[in-house]
């Protein structure tokens, strides 16, 4: 089928990424995995909390570009919404934390944009991603269809609300079509399902693991075997009864058959699954409590790598999604929306001070520039707080040989004065200056 304009072709089916939910369901371990059950895993909960709180705690500002300089656009209506309160019901921290949690679990974050009569953004409200469907109409245009719940403030009689793309702030995660992201929980359900199975096995081991545990053998025939089993379980079952001494009567023999968890590498498996989940979210193991391979010499570098390779991509997704939908085409030429990650990139105290010293001595930071980064009060301008200083023995490149050039001229002057002394000629009055005096006088003239 041919199209005159490939960018205006008619598409009637749904987006390629809209059917990602087929990934969800039972995992190979037999455990059903979804976004909510995955949060019961401590490793998943920890990774989601670390990333969502990190993004929520970063300063978020809208900047205005003017005369080649960038300054905070505090008068822009979006500044208050993004930095303080996106809606009357929640703070900016809670709003971003909620959306980032959605993004990490479902692979997409949605927020409804409320505009006034002028088209200006006046509020942003989070939307649940599991109730959102991204599709195309008969003309191939994207639309968002949201399933309304009875818990929502206003219930649509039809049960669904269709929203235009300009009315939805959509931050997609990794996907196949660039429009809808895939759920990390769904794509990694087998790893998470195995971790859930290991945790459940450990819990059941302590809940039902009689110590000792095995087979009860009776030399005769029991009329009610369940009565003996229940009596044994009530007396020796559970972690609270672990270590009790068993007294056997009537020739009853106990044969342990259970496998020690350590022999079955149970603990090693659980530890590996924690690292596996941390790998899914690209979180350093030391941030989820695994300090086995961390030390004082490398843990700071791991934290910096977390900002650079883990947090920065998420921050870029947020920034570009907000810039795309919240700013008009004219505003995009003048304004930018940026997170400030400088605070997370700060090294230890000694490293910062060494860096500040180099910047101060080379003249590209003033005392007040340094104090602002350290959140200290500025030095008054009359006291020199805004002065930019350089080392006194540094010269421009074109004057690099001036010292040696001047020395050669001085040597020539000294040689001429010595010849004058030998000939006995002085000045017009017959006065004879000493060689150093004539040398200094001549040097000043030169």
In this structure, are residues 176 and 182 in contact, taking their beta carbons and an 8 Å threshold? Answer: yes
Number of domains in the chain: 3
HSE (side-chain half, CA atoms, 13 Å) at 218 = 11
Q: Are residues 140 and 288 in the same domain?
A: yes
Please choose, from the candidates 216, 180, 171, the residue with its C-alpha nearest in 3D space to the C-alpha of residue 326: 171
The alpha carbon of residue 126 and the mean position of all alpha carbons in its chain are separated, in whole angstroms, by 20
- How far is it, in rounded angstroms, from Cα 439 to Cα 424? 17
Is 245 inside a domain boundary? Answer: no
In this structure, are residues 193 and 273 in contact, taking their beta carbons and an 8 Å threshold? Answer: no
Q: Are residues 275 and 288 in the same domain?
A: yes
Is 75 inside a domain boundary? Answer: yes
Is 125 inside a domain boundary? Answer: yes
Question: Which pTM does this prediction carry?
Answer: 0.68
- How far is it, in rounded angstroms, from Cα 23 to Cα 434? 98
3-state secondary structure of 169: strand
Write the DSSP assignment of 374-424 as a string of letters. TT-PPPPGGGTTT-----TT---GGGTTHHHHHHHHHHHHHHHHHHHHHHT
Is 252 inside a domain boundary? Answer: no
Cα distances from 233 to residues 206, 210, 370, in angstroms, run 13, 7, 69
Strand partners, 71: 64
Q: Are residues 44 and 66 in the same domain?
A: yes
3-state secondary structure of 60: strand
Q: Are residues 199 and 326 in the same domain?
A: yes
Torsion, CA 188, CA 193, CA 198, CA 200, rounded to 10: 150
Give the β-pairing of 32-33 and 60-66: unpaired
Q: Report the pLDDT value the prediction gives residue 99, as an integer from 0 to 100.
A: 97
Q: Report the pLDDT value the prediction gives residue 413, as an integer from 0 to 100.
A: 57
Q: Report the pLDDT value the prediction gives residue 20, as an integer from 0 to 100.
A: 47
Q: Are residues 440 and 323 in the same domain?
A: no
Q: Are residues 130 and 205 in the same domain?
A: yes
Q: Is 187 exposed, middle or buried (0-12, 13-18, 19+ CB in 10 A)?
A: middle
Strand partners, 336: 63
Please choose, from the candidates 251, 142, 212, 186, the residue with its C-alpha nearest in 3D space to the C-alpha of residue 24: 186
Per-residue pLDDT of the chain (446 residues; tens, 9 = 90+): 443 444 444 444 445 544 444 455 566 666 778 888 888 888 899 999 999 999 999 999 999 988 777 888 999 999 999 999 999 999 999 999 999 999 999 999 999 999 998 888 999 999 999 999 998 888 889 999 998 876 666 655 658 889 999 999 999 999 888 889 989 988 888 888 888 887 777 777 666 554 555 666 767 676 677 777 777 777 766 656 666 667 666 667 776 656 565 555 666 777 777 888 888 899 988 887 776 666 666 677 777 788 888 899 999 999 999 999 999 999 999 999 999 887 676 666 777 788 888 888 888 888 888 888 777 888 888 888 888 888 777 666 666 655 555 555 556 656 666 666 666 555 555 555 555 555 555 445 44
Sign of CA dihedral 273, 277, 282, 285: negative
Q: Are residues 438 and 314 in the same domain?
A: no
- How far is it, in rounded angstroms, from Cα 240 to Cα 227? 21
Strand partners, 162: 145
Is 235 inside a domain boundary? Answer: no
In the chain, count of helices (H) and strands (E)?
A: 15, 13
Taking each helix axis from N to C end, the angle separating 42-57 and 92-106, rounded to the nearest 10 degrees, works out to 140
Q: Are residues 331 and 365 in the same domain?
A: no
Q: Report the pLDDT value the prediction gives residue 123, as an integer from 0 to 100.
A: 95
Domain boundary among 286, 309, 344: 344
Is 399 inside a domain boundary? Answer: no
Is 320 inside a domain boundary? Answer: yes
Q: In terms of residue numbers, what domain contains 309?
A: 1-209+258-344
Q: Are residues 89 and 194 in the same domain?
A: yes
Write the DSSP assignment of 246-300 as a string of letters. P---TT-EEEE-PPPTTTTTHHHHHHHHHHHHHHHHT--GGGGT--TT--TTTHH
Q: Are residues 117 and 161 in the same domain?
A: yes
Q: Are residues 335 and 359 in the same domain?
A: no
Q: Report the pLDDT value the prediction gives residue 11, as an integer from 0 to 100.
A: 41
Q: Report the pLDDT value the prediction gives residue 13, as an integer from 0 to 100.
A: 45
Cα distances from 285 to residues 54, 197, 198, 296, in angstroms, run 16, 21, 19, 15
Q: Report the pLDDT value the prediction gives residue 10, as an integer from 0 to 100.
A: 44
- How far is it, in rounded angstroms, from Cα 29 to Cα 46? 22
Q: Are residues 132 and 101 in the same domain?
A: yes
Here the tokens at position 417 are 């004065």
Is 26 inside a domain boundary? Answer: yes
Domain boundary among 324, 344, 364: 344
């Amino acid at each position: 089928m041919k199209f005159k304009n490939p960018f205006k072709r008619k598409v009637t089916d749904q987006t390629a990424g809209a059917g990602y939910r087929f990934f969800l369901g039972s995992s190979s371990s037999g455990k059903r995995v979804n976004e909510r059950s995955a949060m019961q895993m401590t490793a998943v909960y920890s990774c989601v909390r670390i990333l969502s709180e990190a993004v929520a705690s970063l300063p978020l500002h809208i900047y205005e570009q003017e005369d080649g300089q960038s300054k905070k656009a505090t008068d822009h209506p979006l500044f208050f919404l993004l930095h303080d309160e996106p809606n009357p019901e929640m703070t900016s921290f809670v709003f971003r934390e909620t959306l980032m949690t959605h993004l990490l679990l479902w692979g997409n974050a949605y927020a409804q944009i409320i505009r006034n009569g002028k088209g200006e953004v006046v509020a942003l409200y989070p939307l649940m991603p599991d109730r959102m469907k991204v599709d195309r109409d008969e003309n191939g245009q994207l639309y968002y269809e949201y399933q309304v719940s009875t818990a929502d403030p206003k219930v649509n009689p039809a049960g669904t609300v269709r929203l235009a793309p300009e009315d939805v702030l959509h931050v997609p995660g990794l996907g196949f079509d660039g429009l809808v992201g895939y759920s990390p929980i769904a794509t990694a359900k087998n790893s998470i399902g195995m971790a859930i199975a290991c945790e459940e096995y450990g819990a059941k081991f302590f809940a039902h693991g009689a110590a000792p545990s095995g087979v009860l053998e009776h030399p005769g025939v029991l009329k009610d075997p369940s009565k003996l089993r229940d009596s044994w379980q009530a007396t020796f079952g559970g972690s609270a009864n672990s270590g009790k001494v068993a007294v056997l009567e009537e020739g009853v023999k106990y044969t342990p058959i259970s496998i020690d968890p350590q022999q079955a590498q149970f603990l090693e498996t659980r530890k590996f699954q924690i690292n596996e989940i941390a790998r899914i979210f690209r979180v350093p193991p030391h941030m989820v409590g695994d300090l086995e391979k961390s030390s004082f010499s490398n843990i700071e570098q791991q934290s910096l790598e977390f900002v650079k390779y883990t947090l920065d991509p998420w921050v870029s997704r947020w920034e570009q999604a907000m810039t795309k939908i919240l700013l008009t085409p004219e505003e995009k030429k003048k304004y930018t929306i940026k997170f400030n990650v400088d605070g997370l990139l700060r090294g230890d105290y000694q490293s910062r001070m060494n860096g500040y010293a180099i910047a101060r001595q080379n003249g590209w930071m003033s005392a007040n520039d340094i104090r602002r980064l350290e959140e200290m009060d500025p030095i008054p301008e009359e006291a020199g707080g805004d002065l930019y200083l350089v080392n006194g023995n540094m010269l421009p490149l074109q004057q690099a040989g001036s010292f040696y050039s001047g020395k050669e001229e001085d040597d020539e002057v000294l040689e001429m004065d010595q010849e004058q002394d030998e000939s006995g000629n002085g000045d017009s009055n017959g006065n004879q200056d000493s060689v150093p005096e004539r040398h200094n006088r001549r040097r000043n003239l030169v």
